[in-house]
Amino acid sequence: MSEMLTGGNPAQGVPTPPTQDDPSGRKWTWEEDGCTVIRSNARSGPGCHDNCGVLMYVRDGVLEKIEGDPENPYNQGRLCPRCLAFKEMLYHEDRLKYPMKRAKEDRGKNAFERITWDEAYDIIEREMKAVIERYGNEAIWVTQGTGRDINGYGPLMAQYLGTPNYGTGFLSGQACYAPRIFSTALKAGGLFVCDYAQFFPDRYDDPRWEAPEYILVWGNNPVVANSDGTLGHWIVESMKRGSKLMVMDPKLTWVAGKADVWFQVRPGTDAALALALCNVIIEEGLEDKEFVSCWCYGFDEFAEHVKKYTPAFAAETCGVPEDLIVEAARKIGRAKSCCLQWGVAMDHTSEGFITGMACFDLMALTGNFEKPGTMVAANPVWDMSVTWMPREKVWEGCSEPVKDQGRTMNFKYPALKAMAAISPDMLLEAMETGEPYPIKAMFMMQNNAIACMGAQPQRILPALQKMEFNVVVDLFLTPTALACADVLLPAACFAERIGITGHQPYALG
């Protein structure tokens, strides 16, 4: 159970690896130059959306160095500086190492007292049961941040506690990744991503793959940021094999500097650009007529709708040259293949959702789906949903099934159902007002809401301190943990535990 909650015990160092090799015959572990080499997958500490293969070189139970696993098709031996510098985090003197408790009246003070795991579990069990008894299971909120190593466990914890309220908090409007996920989920029933041969074990050498003719990099700095299931290396590898770039970014990033077309748009205006590209493609008859007639609904209405979003309109709105818009639309319309590499910059604008929809329409209009080098469906591994849960199986198998799924804290915002996540805005209101029902206990995993994702700490801090019981699991004593934890558990990261890790929904390790 301790591994379920916290991912292991950082006080115990790197665990003994399992002895069996993986199904493809790659060895889990071997001896090399006096070190035990352990093959694993990274995803945490300090937090990342990817799932790169790593080789950990361990001497006498201490991690000596970490390198990319050349046999892992996802990253093919490469690592970014976060994992290369991983030891700094792993052995940082401020890491939490032991379970601790604190009296409720001392919230906000560094007055924690070390306790045993058994005592921690007893307190958690007693307090959670008391909240359930008084207010119902849905009064418990299970939350996570971007310390993503625990993604597989948060939803399970919510299930075991019988609450429908699981999700990030307090990311107002779910303004990170969700707008892109929703755009594709609502329009096409799933997540579609650019085809970088990531679904082939031998990657770029697979004869079924062709490099995209154009990669449309939209509000994304992939070579630097490496996020949301894309490694910047993949774009560079595609470029080496002929892919050309179109980049939509107010900044001259590395990829913008290498692009055929660079749209230096005014921030937050790019929906107009996407619609103007659609306008030109339809005006000039460059849409993929067969794809549109077989797979798209509402083309005539859409064509009518985009008539007013002319290149002249977009040029004035976005601050980019009109002829550049026309030139880019023709390139996209005539390309053999094109895919969209979109980023979080889109999500962080109030127009992120509709911009995502417009970009997705641009890909559909030009038939850039399910062909080599286009947008491909990222089918969930083992039918994992975007909340990293096997959709049906886990729900059925849980010992404490959710009492009332209709009570999920998202019913004012039905689109959030596409992500099976709660609305952070509704949740905060409920914590403050008790409406539509009270939220009284929190189980928080690696979420530093006050200092990071929460846009309104002046509301979040009193709301957290008003709760009847808070458990926080984290790597460090964060401002959020200091503000509100009654029980504070040390999180372990991938080098310290055996478990599952993965990028939703298509890469597991």
- The residues binding ligand SF4 (CB under 6 A) are 42-43, 48, 50, 52, 75, 79-80, 82-83, 226
Q: Report in angstroms how near the CB of residue 131 gets to ligand SF4 at its nearest.
A: 36
- Kindly tell me which of 68 and 250 has the beta carbon lying closer to ligand SF4: 68
Nearest to 104 by CA among 508, 465, 507, 502: 465
Q: Report in angstroms how near the CB of residue 217 gets to ligand SF4 at its nearest.
A: 17
Q: Report in angstroms how near the CB of residue 437 gets to ligand SF4 at its nearest.
A: 38
The Cα 199–Cα 203 span in angstroms is 7
- Kindly tell me which of 89 and 460 has the beta carbon lying closer to ligand SF4: 89
Q: Can you give 202-229 as a three-state secondary structure string?
A: CHHHCCCCCCCCEEEEECCCHHHHCCCC
Q: Report in angstroms how near the CB of residue 89 gets to ligand SF4 at its nearest.
A: 10
- Kindly tell me which of 45 and 167 has the beta carbon lying closer to ligand SF4: 45
- Kindly tell me which of 50 and 213 has the beta carbon lying closer to ligand SF4: 50
Nearest to 133 by CA among 441, 431, 401: 441
The Cα 50–Cα 503 span in angstroms is 6
Q: Report in angstroms how near the CB of residue 476 gets to ligand SF4 at its nearest.
A: 17
- Kindly tell me which of 52 and 363 has the beta carbon lying closer to ligand SF4: 52
The Cα 307–Cα 446 span in angstroms is 47
Cis bond leading into 99, ω under 30°?
A: no
The Cα 192–Cα 295 span in angstroms is 15
Q: Report in angstroms how near the CB of residue 438 gets to ligand SF4 at its nearest.
A: 38
Q: Report in angstroms how near the CB of residue 67 gets to ligand SF4 at its nearest.
A: 10
Cis bond leading into 170, ω under 30°?
A: yes
- Kindly tell me which of 52 and 339 has the beta carbon lying closer to ligand SF4: 52
Q: Report in angstroms how near the CB of residue 84 gets to ligand SF4 at its nearest.
A: 7
- Kindly tell me which of 76 and 387 has the beta carbon lying closer to ligand SF4: 76
- Kindly tell me which of 69 and 270 has the beta carbon lying closer to ligand SF4: 69
- Kindly tell me which of 50 and 210 has the beta carbon lying closer to ligand SF4: 50
Cis bond leading into 438, ω under 30°?
A: no
**DSSP state string for 356-382:** HHHHHHHHHHTT-BSSTTSEEE-PPGG
Q: Report in angstroms how near the CB of residue 502 gets to ligand SF4 at its nearest.
A: 11
Element (H, E) at 127: helix 117-135
- Kindly tell me which of 82 and 244 has the beta carbon lying closer to ligand SF4: 82
Nearest to 100 by CA among 478, 488, 444, 477: 488
- CA 176 to chain centroid, in Å, comes to 8
Q: Long-range contacts: 71-79, Cβ < 8 Å, 24+?
A: 71/26, 71/39, 72/41, 73/198, 73/200, 73/201, 73/202, 73/203, 74/50, 74/198, 74/231, 74/507, 75/50, 75/231, 75/233, 76/203, 76/233, 78/52, 78/231, 78/233, 79/42, 79/52, 79/54
Q: Report in angstroms how near the CB of residue 359 gets to ligand SF4 at its nearest.
A: 24
Sheet with 53-59, side-by-side order of all strands: 29-32, 35-41, 53-59, 62-68
